[in-house]
Amino acid sequence: MGQIFSRNADLWLRLALLGLFGGLAVVFLSASLLARSDYATLRGWTIDQPVPFSHQHHVGGLKLDCQYCHTSVATSAQASLPPTETCMTCHSQIWTNADLLEPLRQSLARNQPLHWNRVAQLPDYVYFHHDVHVTAGVGCVECHGRVDTMPLMRRAEPFQMQWCLDCHRDPAPRLRPREAVTQMDWQTREDRRELGQRLLREYHIDTRDLTSCSVCHR
Ligand code: HEC
Ligand code: HEC
Ligand code: HEC
Ligand code: HEC
Ligand code: HEC
């Protein structure tokens, strides 16, 4: 009996299957890379603001502490954004006629807060608290980057679940003394892991449950 399929048919079938699976693998791989890319996570992203406020000038240059403006960062869930009055402690005297600051003067005159566009934000279903992190000695820089070098606020980290978990699994090397939490250029000669282990004990941090779902989804 003659063969229905040529000898090569089997080979062609294999090649076709290989091509199909290879193609699918490429699609999945690029989709997962894209999901983690800076494009998808908005890392490095900036947004226009009503007033082009510069952390580089006010923090890097004038050496204002974060808590001068983000007053509740160590005491509540939200860090909070400063009211216009905070800006006016200085800007009622300096740069009083600058066009750039017109929205600020309007806001004061009309008694309406400025609407700042948010750069760092989590979805509603994620539970996050600033104060626990600040009292545990996690520096602002760990999550927000070198804010003192940013002319416009940039999103420094991806803020995805994996990123939170990476630290929650092993926070010790990323802890610092509480007094240094807002210090952008803090360094130590001590070994970070040893220091971290000591701080874990000193601050009574229980790292056992930090990765269970109910910590962040409740
Ligand atoms: C402790 C005083 C102080 C406070 C508080 C302050 N500023 Fe300033 N601001 C300055 C000084 C000084 C300059 C000039 C900086 C320079 O040119 O180096 C400035 C400059 C600016 C500029 C011009 C662009 C720039 O960055 O040089 C803008 C816009 C501005 N401030 C907005 C604000 C806003 C909005 C707030 C409130 C959230 C605020 N400032 C709070 C002192 C202050
Ligand atoms: C003079 C006041 C002032 C000081 C000091 C200041 N900030 Fe801000 N910060 C602001 C204002 C106003 C905004 C809103 C506009 C913007 O995003 O730039 C803001 C926004 C932010 C945001 C983005 C929040 C969001 O979701 O959009 C972060 C993060 C932040 N600040 C961190 C810091 C850190 C960390 C420090 C100290 C190293 C600091 N800030 C010091 C006034 C200040
Ligand atoms: C463990 C990571 C982490 C640390 C440490 C941290 N932040 Fe944040 N920050 C976040 C996240 C996540 C958000 C978004 C929260 C949300 O959308 O509910 C945020 C939001 C903010 C905002 C926006 C306004 C608000 O009230 O939430 C400001 C301002 C801010 N952070 C300032 C600071 C300052 C200043 C420090 C240091 C004293 C600091 N953060 C430390 C993760 C962190
Ligand atoms: C750089 C390290 C670091 C990062 C990044 C971080 N955390 Fe944490 N987080 C900690 C530490 C350390 C504690 C423990 C505080 C304690 O128990 O005193 C903690 C505690 C918490 C708690 C309180 C747990 C409890 O039971 O009281 C929540 C909620 C939380 N983190 C949410 C988040 C979320 C959501 C993210 C990501 C957006 C995040 N964290 C990113 C270090 C981090
Ligand atoms: C340390 C904090 C933290 C813990 C612990 C955590 N998550 Fe999340 N989760 C997040 C954050 C932050 C997001 C939002 C991610 C984003 O916006 O991309 C998220 C998003 C999600 C989503 C939405 C889909 C996605 O992946 O973006 C699901 C589902 C989820 N988490 C399930 C879980 C489960 C199940 C567990 C326990 C095994 C868990 N999470 C533990 C922080 C956490």
Give the pLDDT confidence of 182-201 residue by residue, as tens digits: 999 999 999 999 999 999 99
- The predicted model scores a pTM of 0.91
Mutate to test the pocket of ligand 1, among 66, 88, 90 (most ligand atoms within 8 A of CB): 90
Among the bound ligands, name the one nearest to the CA of residue 103. 1
pLDDT of residue 10: 77
Helix (H), strand (E) counts: the chain: 11, 0
Give the pLDDT confidence of 95-128 residue by residue, as tens digits: 888 899 999 999 999 999 999 999 999 999 999 9
Give the pLDDT confidence of 132-161 residue by residue, as tens digits: 999 999 999 999 999 999 999 999 998 999
Q: Which pairs count as long-range contacts for 127-133, CB under 8 Å and 24+ apart, including other chains?
A: 127/215, 127/216, 127/217, 127/218, 128/77, 128/216, 129/76, 129/77, 130/72, 130/73, 130/74, 130/76, 130/77, 130/78, 130/79, 131/73, 131/74, 131/75, 131/76, 131/77
CB of 54 within 6 A of ligand 1: the answer is: yes
Is 60 exceeded by the pLDDT of residue 89? yes
Banded model confidence at residue 14, pLDDT cuts 50, 70, 90: confident
Q: How far is the CA of 117 from the centre of ligand 3 (A)?
A: 14
Residues pairing with 138 in the sheet: 175
What is the C-alpha to C-alpha distance for residues 164 and 157, in angstroms, rounded to an integer?
10
Q: How far is the CA of 168 from the centre of ligand 2 (A)?
A: 24
Instruction: Find the helix packing angle between 84-91 and 102-110, rounded to 10°.
Output: 120
Lowest mean pLDDT, pick from 11-15, 120-124, 165-169, 205-209: 11-15
